[in-house]
Chain A
Amino acid sequence: MVNKQGQTRLSRYYEHVELHKRTLLEAEVIKNCLSRSKYQCSFIEYKDFKLVYRQYAALFIVVGINETENEMAVYELIHNFVEVLDKYFSRVSELDIMFNLDRVHIILDEMVLNGCIVETNRSRILAPLLVLDKMAET
C-alpha cells in the first residue's frame, strides 16, 4: 500500500527480498502506477511479473503476481481486502492503516498466507482480531 507521495504504508513480501532492494522496488513500482492514466488498464508488466493495482483515494494497493494467478481475481481480491478494512475500521483511511499497522497485518495474514488466498469470508477474516480486541480491553 503506497500513497500518492510514494510513501509505503504497508508492504508484505512472500519471497525474501533484501531490505535495500525493497525500497528501490517499492519506489519503482509506485512510479509505474502513478504514471498511468485512468484510460490504462490495471495490469502492468514489470520485470518477470505482473503488477495488479487499484487506487482508493490517494492510496494505491499494488500486488505483484506471476503467471499462475488470475489478474481479475487478484484485482477483486484487493477490493475485498479494502472492504474488510473498511468494515473493521468503519470507513478506513490512510491514517487508520498507519496507526494500526499490526491490525492491518493481522487482517492480511488472515486473508493471504504465503501468497495464497486463505479466506475471503469477511466475518471469518475478522474473527481472530475481534477476539484479540476483546482480550486487550480486559
Chain B
Amino acid sequence: MRGLAVFISDIRNCKSKEAEIKRINKELANIRSKFKGDKALDGYSKKKYVCKLLFIFLLGHDIDFGHMEAVNLLSSNRYTEKQIGYLFISVLVNSNSELIRLINNAIKNDLASRNPIFMGLALHCIANVGSREMAEAFAGEIPKILVAGDTMDSVKQSAALCLLRLYRTSPDLVPMGDWTSRVVHLLNDQHLGVVTAATSLITTLAQKNPEEFKTSVSLAVSRLSRIVTSASTDLQDYTYYFVPAPWLSVKLLRLLQCYPPPDPAVRGRLTECLETILNKAQEPPKSKKVQHSNAKNAVLFEAISLIIHHDSEPNLLVRACNQLGQFLQHRETNLRYLALESMCTLASSEFSHEAVKTHIETVINALKTERDVSVRQRAVDLLYAMCDRSNAQQIVAEMLNYLETADYSIREEIVLKVAILAEKYAVDYTWDDVQGYAAKTVFEALQAPACHENLVKVGGYILGEFGNLIAGDPRSSPLIQFNLLHSKFHLCSVPTRALLLSTYIKFVNLFPEIKTTIQDVLRSDSQLKNADVELQQRAVEYLRLSTIASTDILATVLEEMPPFPERESSILAKLKKKKGPSTVTDLEEIKKERSSDMNGSAEPTPVNASNVSTPSPSADLLGLGAVPLTNSAPAPSSSGSLLVDVFSDSSSVAAPLAPGSEDNFASSSDLASSEVVSEEPADAVHDADELIHKFICKNNGVLFENQLLQIGLKSEFRQNLGRMFIFYGNKTSTQFLNFTPTTKPVDPIVDGGAQVQQVVNIECISDFMDAPILNIQFRYGGTLQNLSVKLPITLNKFFQPTEMSSQDFFQRWKQLSSPKQEVQNIFKAKHPMDTEITKAKIIGFGSALLEEVDPNPANFVGAGIIHTKTIQIGCLLRLEPNLQAQMYRLTLRTSKEAVSQRLCELLSEQF
C-alpha cells in the first residue's frame, strides 16, 4: 500500500506538531472526498483509507467520518472487506454510537451465516464493543452458540469471551440457565484454546454465582492435574518453552481461588498438583532461556496464591515460603518483587507466619540495598506484615532508619505503618509515662522557632490534658507553657485557634495560678469580639465559665478526657484509605477471620499485597494537607472532633474543598459565564507581592484563590534547601483538563472538588531578590485558563537562627558598621504594635529572637545566618518600636549590602 507508506513517512518527517496536524488534516480532507465521491471505491482503496484513519486515530485525532462506510463494509461478502469494516468499528466506534442498530443487524447476519470466519469476526466485535444494545440483541443467542455441539473451536473461544463481555456490561440480560452446566464442561474440552477462554468466563460467572458453578472445581482440578503431570512435549503447541500450557494453568489456579478448599477426594488430587508445581520449580531448568523460567514461575506464583487462599495445608504454606525465600536474593528484580509481594500474604497465615519471619534479615537488607523503589516498597510492606511482638522493636527501628532516606512517595505510608505498629506493640509503657513523655516531647518541639500548625494542634491538646505532668519543672512552668502556646496562636488558622481556646480553659482548671492571665486573654477584644463566630462564642463561654464556676464544678467540667473509645485506629483508617477501597474490605475480612487468633490481638493486620499500591503523587500526606487551606470559614461541628483526635478526617478539615459547603461556592454553577474565565493572567502576578508578604513569616497557608482554584502551600526550609508542597484545589464541580503547572507535571485531570498535590524541591544558590513565578494553565469548561502566581520563596526562608550573648551581639554589630553593610528603614506601623505578635513574627522570619540583649527591653534584636549554596551570610537585626508615634525603626546589618537591603524590605512589610 504505497499511499499508506507515503503518508506514514510524511508524518514521521514532520518537524513540528503543527506540520503534523496540517498533514493529517490534508489527508483527512482527501479521504473524506474519496468517501463522498461518486466513484465506488474498490476493496483495496477502502482498506488503505481505513488503515490511514486507524493511524490518524492512533496519533490522537478524533475520526468523525467513515463510520457509515465501515458499516457498509460489514455487509460485504468478501472476507477482506468485512474484516476491515469490523476492525474500524471495534477500534473507532464507542458503545454509544448511533450506528449500533445497523452494526447489530450486520452482526446478526454474520452470526447466522454458519461461516466460522464471519461468525468469529462478529463475535470479536461484540466482545470488543459490548454495548447494552448489543447485550439486548445477542445475550440470548451467544450461550447457544457457545454450547452447541457443532460449533467450531475458534468460534467457541470467541463466543465464551463475548458472553463474558455481555455479562460484565449487563449481567441482568445474561440469566443463568441450562447452558451453565454445559459451559462448565468446556473445562473438559480437548482443545486447550477453548478451555482457556472458557476458564476466564467461568471464573467471572462463578464469583457471582458460586452455587451454579461449583462443579467447575473438580473439573478444573483434573484438568490442571493432566497439564502439570504431562511430559513437556505432550501438549505440543500449547507448550511454551518446555512449560505445558502455562497461561491455562494460571487461569485454572485463579478459578480455584473462587472457592474454599474442596472435598477431601478432590483436595488430595489438588494437593498433589500443587506439590508437583512446587517440585518442578525446584528442578534444574529444561532450558536456559528466560522464557522457560518466567513461564514456570508464573505458574508457581499462582499456585502459591492458591495455597495462601486456602490457608489450610501447613506443609504447602511452609514450602511456599521457603521457595519464595530463595527468590528474595535472586538476580532477577522481577522475581524479588513478586516474592516479596507473595510473602506478604503468606505472613498473614498462622501456619507460615513464623516461616516468613525467618527471612527478616534478608528483607531488611532489601530495604537498604534495593535500587528499585517499588521493590523497597514491597519490602516495607512485608516487614509490616511479618511484625509481631517478638520483632516489633527491630522492625520499627529499621523502618525509622529507612525513613530518613526513603523516597518521598512512600514516606507517609512508612510513618503510618510505624505508628500502627507502635500503637499495637508498645505494651511496656504505663500510661502515665507515656502521657508525661508526650507532654515533655511536644513541649520541646513547640520551642522551635517555626512549627507546623499540626504540631500546635497536637501540642495544644496534649498540654491541655497533661501539661500538669511537666509543670513541676521550672522550665515548663504553667505560665511558660501558656505563653509558648499563645505565641503561636495568632499565626494559626481558626480551627486551631478554637482548639487552643479549649486548651486555655483546661489550663484554668489545671493551673489556677495563671487563671487571671488566661482570663485577660479571653477578655481581650481580639477574642471576645472576634469576627469568627466560633472563636467568639468560645471566648465568651470560657470566660464566663472561669468566672462563675466553683473549683469543683470546673474540675468536673474540665476533667481529663476519658480514654478514647475502643474503635478502629484512625491511623489504620488513613492507611486503608490510601490503599483504596478494595483493600479495606480485604483487611476487614482478614481481621474478622483472625479474631480468634491464638495471640489475641497481637497479630499484625496483614496487608493484601496484591492490592497495595504506591500512593499517587496526588495523595495527601497524612491527609492533613487540607489544613493550611482551611480559611476563615466557620467550622461548626468540627471543634469537638478536633479535640478528640487530630488525625481523624474531621469534616471541617476537608470542608473547604467540598463544593457547596460554603457560600462562596454557591456561584460555581454559573462560572462559565462569569468574568473569572476571561481573567487576565497579568492580574494575578500584579497582586502577587501582597500574597508573598503574607508568607514571609509563615510557611503554610492559602497562596491564591479565585472562584475556580485554590492554591495552598506547606513548606519547610533547612539551610539552603527547601521543600514546598503545593496543593491545587478545584473549587468547581467540573473537571479541569490539561492541568499544567510550570513547576513540574501533575495529573492533568483535576476532578471537581478534588485536590492535587505536588512537591517542589528548592535550593538557594545565591542571594536573590525576585521570587520564582508559578504559571498554571488548565482548561475549564472549554476555556483556557492562564494564571501566574509568585511563589513565596524569599531570602529569609534560608535563615538559620543563631543564639548569642549580648556581648557577642554588639561586638559583631560593631564589626558590621560600614555604610554598605547597614540598611535602615523607619516606617509607620500598619498593624497593632503587640509585643507577642512582633516576637512571633521575628521568629517566623527565621532569625533567632535574642532576649535580654538590647539594653532597652522594648527593642527586639535577632541574629541568624542566611544559607546559600556558595556562601553563608551572617545577619543581625534590630527593631525599635516607638509606641507613641506608632513607628518602627528597623536596622539590618549583614556582610552584603544586597542582603541587608532585601531582608529589610521583607521584614518591614510585616509590622
Q: How far is the CA of A118 from the CA of B55 in the complex (A)?
A: 25
Q: How far is the CA of A103 from the CA of B488 in the complex (A)?
A: 69
**Cβ of A88: which chain B residues have Cβ within 8 Å of it?**
none
Count of chain B residues with Cβ under 8 Å from any Cβ of A?
81
Q: A102-B47, A102-B87, A124-B193 are in contact. Are A71 and B62 (CB under 8 A)?
A: no
**Cβ of A119: which chain B residues have Cβ within 8 Å of it?**
154, 157, 193, 196-197
Tell me how far the C-beta of B233 lies from the nearest C-beta in chain A, rounded to whole angstroms.
14
Tell me how far the C-beta of B160 lies from the nearest C-beta in chain A, rounded to whole angstroms.
8
Q: From B51, B58, B130, B614, name the one whose CB has the most chain A CB atoms within 10 angstroms.
A: B58
Contact with B along A104-123 (1 / 0, CB 8 A): 01100100011011111111
Q: Which of B59, B95, B237, B298 makes the CB contact (< 8 A) with A124?
A: B237
Tell me how far the C-beta of A75 lies from the nearest C-beta in chain B, rounded to whole angstroms.
6
**Cβ of A68: which chain B residues have Cβ within 8 Å of it?**
254
Q: Is the CB of B246 within 8 A of A117?
A: no
Tell me how far the C-beta of B708 lies from the nearest C-beta in chain A, rounded to whole angstroms.
20
Tell me how far the C-beta of B606 lies from the nearest C-beta in chain A, rounded to whole angstroms.
15
Q: How far is the CA of A80 from the CA of B289 in the complex (A)?
A: 13
State whether the Cβ of A16 lies closer than 8 Å to any Cβ in chain B: yes
Q: Is the CB of B60 within 8 A of A118?
A: no
Q: Which of B87, B158, B614 makes the CB contact (< 8 A) with A106?
A: B87
Contact with B along A36-68 (1 / 0, CB 8 A): 010111111101100000000000000000011
Minimal Cβ-Cβ distance residue in B for A40: B372
Q: How far is the CA of A102 from the CA of B614 in the complex (A)?
A: 37
Q: How far is the CA of A128 from the CA of B80 in the complex (A)?
A: 11
Q: How far is the CA of A123 from the CA of B295 in the complex (A)?
A: 19
Tell me how far the C-beta of A112 lies from the nearest C-beta in chain B, rounded to whole angstroms.
9
**Cβ of B62: which chain A residues have Cβ within 8 Å of it?**
19
Q: Is the CB of B237 within 8 A of A39?
A: no
Tell me how far the C-beta of A117 lies from the nearest C-beta in chain B, rounded to whole angstroms.
5
Q: How far is the CA of A106 from the CA of B125 in the complex (A)?
A: 12
Q: Which of B4, B162, B298 makes the CB contact (< 8 A) with A114?
A: B162
Q: Is the CB of A128 within 8 A of B91?
A: no
Q: How far is the CA of A14 from the CA of B738 in the complex (A)?
A: 24
Q: How far is the CA of A123 from the CA of B193 in the complex (A)?
A: 12
Within 8 A of B (CB), among A67-106: 67-68, 70-73, 75-77, 79-80, 98-99, 101-102, 105-106
Q: Is the CB of A41 within 8 A of B372?
A: yes
**Cβ of A120: which chain B residues have Cβ within 8 Å of it?**
193, 196, 238, 240, 245, 247-248
Q: How far is the CA of A53 from the CA of B164 in the complex (A)?
A: 26
Q: How far is the CA of A84 from the CA of B197 in the complex (A)?
A: 19
Tell me how far the C-beta of A107 lies from the nearest C-beta in chain B, rounded to whole angstroms.
12
Q: How far is the CA of A8 from the CA of B240 in the complex (A)?
A: 29
Q: Is the CB of A102 within 8 A of B50?
A: yes
State whether the Cβ of B391 lies closer than 8 Å to any Cβ in chain A: no
Q: How far is the CA of A120 from the CA of B154 in the complex (A)?
A: 12
Q: Which of B58, B95, B610 makes the CB contact (< 8 A) with A67?
A: B610
Q: How far is the CA of A20 from the CA of B738 in the complex (A)?
A: 10
Q: A43-B334, A70-B302 are in contact. Are A22 and B294 (CB under 8 A)?
A: no
Tell me how far the C-beta of A84 lies from the nearest C-beta in chain B, rounded to whole angstroms.
12
Q: Is the CB of A131 within 8 A of B83?
A: no
Q: Which of B51, B298, B333 makes the CB contact (< 8 A) with A102?
A: B51
Q: How far is the CA of A88 from the CA of B52 in the complex (A)?
A: 21
**Cβ of A114: which chain B residues have Cβ within 8 Å of it?**
127-128, 130, 161-162, 164-165
**Cβ of B612: which chain A residues have Cβ within 8 Å of it?**
45
Minimal Cβ-Cβ distance residue in B for A129: B83
Q: Is the CB of A71 within 8 A of B338?
A: yes
Within 8 A of A (CB), among B331-370: 333-334, 336-338
Q: Is the CB of A42 within 8 A of B196?
A: no
Q: Is the CB of A116 within 8 A of B164?
A: yes
Q: How far is the CA of A67 from the CA of B737 in the complex (A)?
A: 28
Within 8 A of A (CB), among B263-308: 291, 294-295, 297-298, 301-302, 305
State whether the Cβ of B84 lies closer than 8 Å to any Cβ in chain A: yes
**Cβ of B375: which chain A residues have Cβ within 8 Å of it?**
40-41
Tell me how far the C-beta of B124 lies from the nearest C-beta in chain A, rounded to whole angstroms.
5
Tell me how far the C-beta of B364 lies from the nearest C-beta in chain A, rounded to whole angstroms.
19
Minimal Cβ-Cβ distance residue in B for A42: B334
Q: How far is the CA of A75 from the CA of B57 in the complex (A)?
A: 27
Minimal Cβ-Cβ distance residue in A for B609: A67
Tell me how far the C-beta of B783 lies from the nearest C-beta in chain A, rounded to whole angstroms.
16
Q: From B60, B78, B245, B305, name the one whose CB has the most chain A CB atoms within 10 angstroms.
A: B60
Q: How far is the CA of A21 from the CA of B698 in the complex (A)?
A: 39
Count of chain A residues with Cβ under 8 Å from any Cβ of B?
58
The SS class assigned to the B binding surface is: helix
A-B pairs under 8 A by CB, number: 178
Q: Is the CB of B197 within 8 A of A116?
A: yes
Q: Is the CB of A101 within 8 A of B334?
A: no
Q: Is the CB of B613 within 8 A of A16?
A: no
State whether the Cβ of B426 lies closer than 8 Å to any Cβ in chain A: no
State whether the Cβ of B516 lies closer than 8 Å to any Cβ in chain A: no
State whether the Cβ of B449 lies closer than 8 Å to any Cβ in chain A: no
Q: Is the CB of B334 within 8 A of A41?
A: yes
Q: From A39, A101, A123, name the one whose CB has the most chain B CB atoms within 10 angstroms.
A: A101
Tell me how far the C-beta of A100 lies from the nearest C-beta in chain B, rounded to whole angstroms.
8
Q: Is the CB of A106 within 8 A of B371?
A: no
Q: Is the CB of B251 within 8 A of A10?
A: no
Tell me how far the C-beta of A137 lies from the nearest C-beta in chain B, rounded to whole angstroms.
10
Minimal Cβ-Cβ distance residue in A for B52: A101
Q: Is the CB of A39 within 8 A of B164?
A: no
Minimal Cβ-Cβ distance residue in A for B333: A41
Tell me how far the C-beta of B457 lies from the nearest C-beta in chain A, rounded to whole angstroms.
32
Q: Is the CB of A116 within 8 A of B200?
A: yes
Q: How far is the CA of A80 from the CA of B291 in the complex (A)?
A: 9
Q: Which of B1, B120, B127 makes the CB contact (< 8 A) with A128?
A: B120
Q: A114-B128, A132-B83 are in contact. Are A40 and B371 (CB under 8 A)?
A: yes
Tell me how far the C-beta of B639 lies from the nearest C-beta in chain A, rounded to whole angstroms.
36
Q: A45-B614, A116-B164 are in contact. Are A16 and B95 (CB under 8 A)?
A: yes
State whether the Cβ of B769 lies closer than 8 Å to any Cβ in chain A: no
State whether the Cβ of B79 lies closer than 8 Å to any Cβ in chain A: yes
State whether the Cβ of B667 lies closer than 8 Å to any Cβ in chain A: no
Tell me how far the C-beta of B733 lies from the nearest C-beta in chain A, rounded to whole angstroms.
19
Minimal Cβ-Cβ distance residue in B for A79: B291
Q: Is the CB of A70 within 8 A of B254?
A: yes
Q: Which of B80, B90, B200 makes the CB contact (< 8 A) with A136?
A: B80
Q: How far is the CA of A109 from the CA of B192 in the complex (A)?
A: 18
Q: How far is the CA of A128 from the CA of B665 in the complex (A)?
A: 59
Q: How far is the CA of A22 from the CA of B92 in the complex (A)?
A: 13
Q: Is the CB of B5 within 8 A of A131?
A: no
Minimal Cβ-Cβ distance residue in A for B257: A68
Tell me how far the C-beta of B46 lies from the nearest C-beta in chain A, rounded to whole angstroms.
11
Q: Is the CB of A39 within 8 A of B371?
A: yes
Q: Is the CB of B298 within 8 A of A76?
A: yes
Tell me how far the C-beta of B359 lies from the nearest C-beta in chain A, rounded to whole angstroms.
19
State whether the Cβ of B651 lies closer than 8 Å to any Cβ in chain A: no
Known contacts A20-B60, A73-B247, A101-B51; can you find 19 more A-B pairs with CB under 8 A? A41-B334, A41-B337, A67-B611, A72-B301, A73-B246, A76-B294, A76-B295, A105-B91, A113-B127, A113-B128, A113-B197, A114-B127, A117-B200, A118-B158, A119-B154, A119-B196, A120-B238, A120-B247, A128-B117
Can you give 12 contacting A-B residue pairs, CB < 8 Å? A20-B737, A24-B738, A41-B336, A67-B610, A72-B334, A76-B246, A101-B55, A113-B124, A114-B128, A114-B130, A116-B164, A124-B154
Q: Which residues of A contact B (CB under 8 A)?
A: 8-12, 14, 16, 19-24, 37, 39-45, 47-48, 67-68, 70-73, 75-77, 79-80, 98-99, 101-102, 105-106, 109, 113-114, 116-124, 127-128, 131-132, 135-136
The 6 closest A-B pairs by CB, nearest first: A72-B298, A23-B60, A73-B298, A40-B372, A121-B237, A116-B200
Q: Which residues of B contact A (CB under 8 A)?
A: 1, 4-5, 8, 47, 50-51, 54-55, 57-60, 62, 78-80, 83-84, 87, 90-91, 94-95, 117, 120, 124, 127-128, 130, 154, 157-158, 161-162, 164-165, 192-193, 196-197, 200, 237-238, 240, 245-248, 250-251, 254, 291, 294-295, 297-298, 301-302, 305, 333-334, 336-338, 371-372, 374-375, 580, 582, 610-614, 616, 737-738, 748-749
